[in-house]
Amino acid sequence: MSYLYQKLFICIVAATLCLQPDLVRAGPGDADGALPNYARYGADVWARNPLARISGDGNACISCHTSLPYALVEPLLPDSYSAYDNMIENIDNRILTWNDNLAWYSDTRLEQMSAFSKQPPDTLKGFLDGPDSRGVEAVFNALISGMQDAYGGHPASRETELAFENMWAEQIDSGPEAGRWGWIMANLVPWEVADSDIWGASLACVAASQFPDLAPPENLELLDTSLRRAAEDTEVSLHAKAGVLWCDAETDGRVLDSETADSLISELLPLQQENGGWGLRDLGPWTGWEGSESDCCAAREVRSDAYATGFVTLVLARNVHRVPANQQERLKQSLTWINRRLEDPYPTGPRYNKHNSSDREIPEFRDSLYTNAGFMWAYLAKHIIESGKAPWESQ
């Protein structure tokens, strides 16, 4: 699919996001209300997104930039929220009817999405496809359903058991991608690019770590082997490798040897900036951004952003035993950065440093995607550091 069609799809999503009405927000400095309101704001906006609802057959598909991290945070927030309950109900339904579902990006769905945007029926075909979206959904369903059980200290529900069956059935069993899952490659950094299937496989590994009895040994071995190789591949981004490092922590060091894990830690730590945060561009290399043949990142300023800071801090917090004693202060600095941003996460004030907002190649709406995901991961990292354990660990 041509680059112009990729841009078209991105612009359609941007427009439909921007058409959503605002929710009442907490004021700056309202630490108790700002993050919950912001998290639920993002969930509501995505739940109403027309294209997401088409791909999800009336309910928004589970997005890597909004739904997934939100699902890991909402159980930690006060009270209950209908958007979350609806999302879980939809996920459960998709799990229970898996064999009868259309893939998010099946030809039928893509034709409906093209019709909505008044484009030819085949506009999105080849750029987005069903098999790849099937792998993404299988992994996300297993992670979200499994974590919901783990957060409550419950055994795997029937929905979780089926989600794992579906996930393992979708795993690629041969070829260079063996052990991973089909993944969407829509050129959306960092979730839908060439090595994002490694990040996705790491999430599958985290899910499996909660209920290892639901993982067939042969599937688990394929997964571990794939992740082990990825961690040593110089072509794989540090973002994807950070995912592998997270997986390794949740499996008590089953995937990586100590030398490789320590080496990844030593790569991540020096990238922390003076203000305590990390910048996504440092977790590349990201080349060919938005289809460009040139290196997007080399000559540009790398600034701290919520996504890189949140995700890296979470990974380091789960690998705190590997962080050298003389480097432990870095986690405190990161937590300070996170706490300061979480006081008012809405990306509206002039003091808010939008990620890469000056780069012409990156449409402005992408800032909100990074932010949606970033503050969810940041809040989860904060919870882990301050409580001394992850919410999915035994209570």
Q: Under a CB-based contact definition with an 8 Å cutoff, are residues 356 and 290 in contact?
A: no
Query: pLDDT digit string (tens) for 66-89?
Result: 999 999 999 999 999 999 999 999
Is the per-residue pLDDT at 365 higher than 70? Answer: no
Token reading at 130: 């069903």
Q: What percentage of residues in the chain have a pLDDT greater than 70?
A: 81
Residue 345 has what pLDDT?
Answer: 77
Q: Is the pLDDT of residue 377 over 50?
A: yes
Each residue's pLDDT tens digit, 228-274: 999 999 999 999 999 999 999 999 999 999 999 999 999 999 999 99
Q: What is the pLDDT of residue 370?
A: 72
Reference 113, options 86, 104, 275; nearest CA is 104
The band of 348, judged by pLDDT with boundaries at 50, 70 and 90, is: very low
**How many residues are listed for the chain in this entry?**
395
Whether residue 383 is predicted with pLDDT greater than 60 in this model: the reply is yes
Instruction: Say if pTM beats, i.e. exceeds, 0.85.
Output: yes
Closest CA to 39 of 82, 71, 79: 71
| Residue 32 pLDDT > 80 | no
The H or E element spanning position 38 is helix 31-47
Whether residue 138 is predicted with pLDDT greater than 60 in this model: the reply is: yes
List pLDDT tens digits, range 290-306: 433 334 444 456 678 88
Integer Cα distance of 159 and 84 in angstroms: 16
Residue 172 DSSP one-character state: -
Any idea which residue has 């996001």 for tokens?
17
Which tokens is 296 given?
């997007």
Per residue in 328-345, pLDDT (tens digit) is: 999 999 999 999 989 877
User: CA 271, 275, 277, 281: dihedral to nearest 10 degrees?
Assistant: -60
Hey, what amino acid is at 213?
D
Give the pLDDT score at 368.
65
CA atoms within 13 A on the CB side of 186: 22
* Radius of gyration, CA atoms only, the chain: 20
Structure-model confidence comparison of residues 276 and 282, the more confident one: 276
pLDDT tens figures, 172-212: 999 999 999 999 988 788 899 899 999 999 999 999 999 99
CA–CA dist 186, 89 (Å, integer): 27
Asked whether residue 5 carries a pLDDT value surpassing 80, the answer given is no
Mean pLDDT of the chain: 85
Terminal alpha carbon distance of the chain: 49
